[in-house]
Amino acid sequence: MELQILITVLLFLLLVLFPIFFLFRGKKYPDRLPPGSLGLPVIGQSLDLLKALKADKVDKWFQEGITKHGPIWKASLFGYPTVVLHGPIANKFIYTCDGNILTNTQPPSISRILGSKNIIELAGHDHKRVRAALTSFLKLDVLKQYAAKVDEEIQHHLQTHWHGQHEVQVQPLIKTLTFNVICSLLFGIERGPKRDKLLPHFQHMIEGVLAIPINLPFTQFNRGIIARTKLVPMLIDIIREKREALQEQKQANPLDKDLITSLISIHDDDGSPTMSDEEIIDNIIVVMVAGYDTTSVLLTFLVKLLASNESVYSAIVCEQEEIAKSKAPGEALAWEDLTKMKYSWRVASEMLRINPPVALAFRRAMQDIEYGGFTIPKGWQVLLSSSMTHMDNDIFQNPTLFDPTRFEKHSPQPPPFSFVAFGAGPRMCPGIELAKMETLAMIHRLVTHFTWELLKEDECFVRNPMPEFNQGLFVRITPIKATFMSSKASL
């Protein structure tokens, strides 16, 4: 099966990307190109990188390149000549470079599913405008009012899917949770048939984005495209309903406001809407795609860690029990409670360092760029890997050691642009506060209501490209009959 997939990728690359590759080979600059080889036409080193990704050995793949060629080298990846860069200075260059020089444009197959107006595709003024609209809701000052809502969604999730069970498959369940949190908080779509109808479409779209882009009946990519065509009319209806509710001022409670309502309400100085409906749809979709798998991956890794690292588990339980004791029975978590979970967030940050859900960042050169004594020709890709930076012994000493104290205030801080699990610069993840909220509230509810053990100690994961546990991470769970539980009445 794996061989079949590799052959399909190979054929696809050969047929579709052959002309692009020769267009961008950079023959104009034979002396100023970085060292390295473009390998076989078109295919280059793509299969090696895909294999390294699957085996979660991206840092090793990068290290081999650096050992052979130095910190700036060239390769050919996914049909494009590529310059691979490493280190905090290179990260700063990639993350903060003007959008007219390096763009974030995705392959056409991805924008076919996510839509051409999604924030990842946009550059310059349009990127700033859409990003400002999204962050007007996702920024901490606004989002912190919704901590109890996130907590309520988590408690309902545990009540429905964990309580009464002896064994659970963690990763798929937590994906359902992150989907539900985004639906409720960002889209204002509460539990019920409407939400249930959306889930499979989003899932197919996400699988389509991550699939080999071959549009034939029954391929994952094709399913993703079909899912988009089914989803868009549903989103148009949701936007219309929200617009009507706004006009009739049905939202008495300001906390009923959600990201979609917020995007509809924003107007420019001249009174025209800041975002078109098409932009709102594409960005609702991208927020779901960007926020669904990432946070669920982090939480799944944390569940595994807490089952296998006694000292981290005890310290987390200690911190969370203190918070639970300060709450009345049935009282929901508030933002102030989450701010006390400092150790838990250091553990989550260290997990993001060791296992960043997003391991690679690609950009495209919009013009010839001089960098580090070399030329990056127009049209080439530029690539960095957060895994590689996070595993650099010169930046994080003893990098394979899980050590949350690295993130203590008083510990020596790594140079800027070294911890890049959420990216950096103008495209830094705008969902960071939501991810933090979900992660901390879920850790709290899990450790104060359950103990658990891994059913398969050595269950591995592959990157596809997001980390996926081979069997979804099965754990055996036992409910805690605790006296300190803050909301035992509600669970």
Checking phi first, is residue 423 left (phi over 0); if not, alpha (psi -120 to 50) or beta?
left
The distance between the two most distant Cα atoms of the chain, rounded to a whole number of Å, is 73
Print the binding letters for residues 431-470 with ligand HEM: x by CB under 6 A, - otherwise. Answer: x--xx-----------------------------------
Please state the closest distance from residue 436 (CB atom) to ligand HEM, in A.
8
Report the C-alpha gap between 225 and 129 in whole angstroms. 27
Please state the closest distance from residue 430 (CB atom) to ligand HEM, in A.
5
Interaction between residue 429 and ligand HEM (CB under 6 A): yes
Among 10, 40, 47, 120, binds ligand HEM (CB under 6 A): 120
CB atoms within 10 A of CB 129: 17
Window of 109-117, 247-255, 289-297, 315-323 that interacts with ligand HEM by CB under 6 A: 289-297
Interaction between residue 333 and ligand HEM (CB under 6 A): no
Tell whether omega for the bond before 465 is within 30 degrees of 0, i.e. cis.
Answer: yes
- Of 119 and 475, CB closest to ligand HEM: 119
Structure tokens at 379: 């049209």
Q: What is the DSSP string of 180-245?
A: HHIIIIIT---SSHHHHHHHHHHHHHHHHHTS----STTSHHHHHHHHHHHHHHHHHHHHHHHHHH
Please state the closest distance from residue 389 (CB atom) to ligand HEM, in A.
12
Among 281, 298, 312, 347, binds ligand HEM (CB under 6 A): 298
- Of 430 and 467, CB closest to ligand HEM: 430
Q: Cβ distance 294 to 358 under 8 Å?
A: yes
Print the binding letters for residues 248-287 with ligand HEM: x by CB under 6 A, - otherwise. Answer: --------------------------------------xx
Cα dist. 13→27, 37, 110 in Å?
Answer: 21, 18, 15
Report the C-alpha gap between 405 and 81 in whole angstroms. 40
Q: Cβ distance 204 to 225 under 8 Å?
A: no
Interaction between residue 90 and ligand HEM (CB under 6 A): no
Window of 17-25, 48-56, 325-333, 356-364 that interacts with ligand HEM by CB under 6 A: 356-364
Write down the residue that tokens 């590759």 correspond to.
21
Annotated binding-site residue? 183:
no
Site for ligand HEM in 207-226 (CB under 6 A): none
Please state the closest distance from residue 120 (CB atom) to ligand HEM, in A.
5
**Bridge partners, 76 (sequence order):** 81
Interaction between residue 202 and ligand HEM (CB under 6 A): no
State whether residue 36 is helix, strand or coil.
strand
Structure tokens at 89: 């200075």
Please state the closest distance from residue 136 (CB atom) to ligand HEM, in A.
13
Interaction between residue 422 and ligand HEM (CB under 6 A): yes
State whether residue 402 is helix, strand or coil.
coil
Among 294, 385, 448, 486, binds ligand HEM (CB under 6 A): 294
Among 43, 85, 150, 358, binds ligand HEM (CB under 6 A): 358
Residues 6+ apart with CB under 8 A from 469: 170, 171, 300, 304, 459, 460, 461
Report the C-alpha gap between 262 and 254 in whole angstroms. 11
Please state the closest distance from residue 421 (CB atom) to ligand HEM, in A.
5
Among 9, 53, 119, 147, binds ligand HEM (CB under 6 A): 119
Please state the closest distance from residue 355 (CB atom) to ligand HEM, in A.
10
Interior angle at CA 204, CA 199 and CA 210, nearest 5: 130
Interaction between residue 131 and ligand HEM (CB under 6 A): yes
- Residue with the shortest CB distance to ligand HEM: 431
Residues of this chain that bind ligand HEM (CB under 6 A): 119-120, 131, 138, 286-287, 290-291, 294-295, 298, 352, 357-358, 361, 421-423, 427, 429-431, 434-435
Extract the annotated binding site for heme: 429
